[in-house]
Amino acid sequence: MEERNETPINSNPYWWNAAPIPVGLDKVPNQADVLIVGSGITAMSAAITLLRNGRKVTVIDQNKIGSGASRRNAGYVSRSFKHSFADLEKKHGLEYAIKLHRELDESVKSVQEFVDTYHLDCELKFLGRLMPAPNSKHFQSLEQDLAKQKHHLGFEYQMLDKSELQTELATDSYYGAALIPDLGGIHPGKYHAELLKVALSLGLEVCEEVKALEICSAGETKQVNTTKGIISAKELILATNGYTDLLFPWLRRRIIPFDAYMIATEDLPNQLAQKIIPHNRVVIDTSHNPLFVRQSPDGKSILLGGLTATKQASSEEKGHHLAKILKRLLPDLEGASIAHSWTGKCSGTFDLYPHAGQHEGIYYSLGYCFVGVPMGTYLGKKLALNLLGKNEGKTLFFNRKFPTIPFYKENPWFLSTVFKYYDHLDKGTPAYDFAY
Ligand SMILES: Cc1cc2nc3c(=O)[nH]c(=O)nc-3n(C[C@H](O)[C@H](O)[C@H](O)COP(=O)(O)OP(=O)(O)OC[C@H]3O[C@@H](n4cnc5c(N)ncnc54)[C@H](O)[C@@H]3O)c2cc1C
């Protein structure tokens, strides 16, 4: 029988304990220099860059400031990409594959740079990313990809057999793993809170619970109709990622939103979290729809994510489902209660690339395919530099062809089929077998 919690599960993210959602401004101005729709990492990174370059910036969000995915994610900071190095090399040539991976690495470094430049207190630690593989096929293809990255870019990695893996993660559910020593994690709530603090200190104006309804004019002056009146702005940036709506239909047709889910245990006794992940790596397995697990930054609890893009359910229900997976994956947690179960929206794209750019005079940066912590930071800044007309804004991800498919407007009718296919491929892995 399914084990039930004695205490009710909190549907707010674990991260909000240390980084509560702030209260913004109630009124909106009718004029802005640069107006940003969305108030997550992308918006903050762009805003800080613009403010430092003398521009005035107003951020609006339909909800509370920072309450999108930026304060809901797992906090992994990685240079992972949906296309393997070999695939990129085959399709675009070696030089391109190297260039793109260098930029992915730059995106990780951009997080470190913000943290160092502004002395952000957000528990950024590069203690290693552990990637358990459920079988020898996954293990070998992971090794091949990492070997290429090491050869061409010098990115370090180490392959671990099952017994070595068990010194890293208290489970016998995997065949082996790769360890990438220079990647890690952050406290996403604190990261966003600190970025917001910097932006406010530079003069950012933030307006919460203001939904942008329509772009009335995208000419020299952009006019945006919102739930609290019309705002005219010289420049308009859309930083709405998984929450992108029909405000700019061209963009919405290119974005595939999906839900991601996480849980956090209550504080665990007797250094249990350290026993489970002794070297405090951030862990993500190699399934098509992966499980990801990490210690909380204070080392007191364990967080797990999975069941991405599965049918929506109450946070209580999802929490129990994820708890079942957690306890099968990590049997030491058998008696643990779940304190938080939450969800957030991510977005993918049809070519599985993140995209930043300008279309019909409107700037955008989104479609991060689950790496929005580094990519939102990196492309938010790049986007702002482009807006400022600066050469440093150059990136492979700016204004590249942004595909869609015929008849797709808003409803991602194909998503359940794609994830069913992933399920099919994942049969025999913990991500599938422990879930169903
Ligand atoms: C559970 C989960 C785990 C994840 N784990 C990781 C991870 O470990 N590492 C990683 O790199 N990435 C991860 N991600 C993805 C990452 O969180 C996102 O890619 C990133 O936060 C996107 O930031 P953003 O600023 O672009 O958008 P968001 O932070 O999502 O903000 C978008 C905002 O736009 C607002 N908005 C949308 N439309 C309108 C409108 N019309 N008017 C006004 N406001 C509007 C929304 O209200 C929202 O607040 C995860 C995501 C989730 C949900």
- Summary mean pLDDT of the chain: 96
Confidence of residue 31 (pLDDT cuts 50, 70, 90): very high
pLDDT band for 25, please (50, 70, 90 cuts): confident
Q: Please list every protein residue whose CB sits less than 6 Å from any atom of ligand 1.
A: 37-43, 60-63, 67-70, 72-76, 211-212, 239-243, 245, 247, 260, 262, 305, 344, 346, 366, 368, 370-374, 376
pLDDT for position 161: 98
Q: State the pLDDT at residue 1.
A: 38
- Each residue's pLDDT tens digit, 301-313: 999 999 999 999 9
CATH number of 23-73+190-256+350-409: 3.50.50.60
Q: What is the distance in A from the centroid of ligand 1 to the CA of 69?
A: 3
Give the mean pLDDT of 193-200.
98
pLDDT for 155 beyond 70: yes
Average confidence (pLDDT) over 48-61? 98
CA angle 113–119–122, rounded 5-degree value: 90
Rounded average pLDDT over 270-280: 96
Pick the atom of ligand 1 nearest to 305's CA.
1
- Mean pLDDT across 106-130: 98
Taking CA atoms only, the protein residue closest to ligand 1 atom 2 is 73
For ligand 1, atom 16: residue with the closest CA: 372
Residue 357, helix vs strand vs coil: strand
Most ligand 1 atoms within 8 A of CB, residue of 70, 230, 283, 289 to mutate: 70
**Closest listed residue to residue 372, CA positions, set 239, 276, 220, 280:** 239
DSSP label of 314: -
Other CB atoms within 10 Å distance of the CB of residue 349:
19
Give the Å distance between the CA of 348 and the centre of ligand 1.
Answer: 12
CA neighbor of 169 nearest in space, from 52, 2, 292, 80: 292
pLDDT in tens, 282-297: 999 999 999 999 999 9
d(CA 229, CA 139): 55
* pLDDT band of 40, cuts 50, 70, 90: very high
pLDDT of 5: 64
pLDDT tops 90 at residue 219: no
pLDDT tens digits, 336-390? 999 999 999 999 999 999 999 999 999 999 999 999 999 999 999 999 999 999 9
pLDDT at 2: 47
- Model confidence at 26: pLDDT above 80: no
Lowest mean pLDDT among 23-32, 45-54, 136-145: 23-32
Instruction: Say how far apart CA 196 and CA 254 lie, in whole Å.
Output: 28
Q: Ligand 1 pocket: which of 15, 114, 283, 370 to mutate (most atoms <8 Å of CB)?
A: 370
Q: Residue 32: beta bridge partners?
A: 233
CB count within 10 Å of CB 86 equals 13
pLDDT digits (tens, 9 = 90+) for 162-180: 999 999 999 999 999 999 9
Compute the distance from residue 174 Cα to the ligand 1 centre, in Å.
Answer: 31
User: Of 39, 71, 73, which is best to mutate to test ligand 1, by the most ligand atoms within 8 angstroms of its C-beta?
Assistant: 73
Quick one: pLDDT at residue 242?
98
C-beta atoms surrounding 136 within 10 Å:
10
For residue 4, what pLDDT is reported?
Answer: 54
Residue 218 confidence (pLDDT) above 90 = no
The closest-lying atom of ligand 1 relative to the alpha carbon of residue 375 is 11
Residue 53 confidence (pLDDT): 98
Q: How far is residue 365's CA from residue 110's CA, in Å, rounded to a whole number?
A: 16
93, 94, 95, 152, 230 from 90: Cα distances, Å: 6, 8, 11, 15, 49
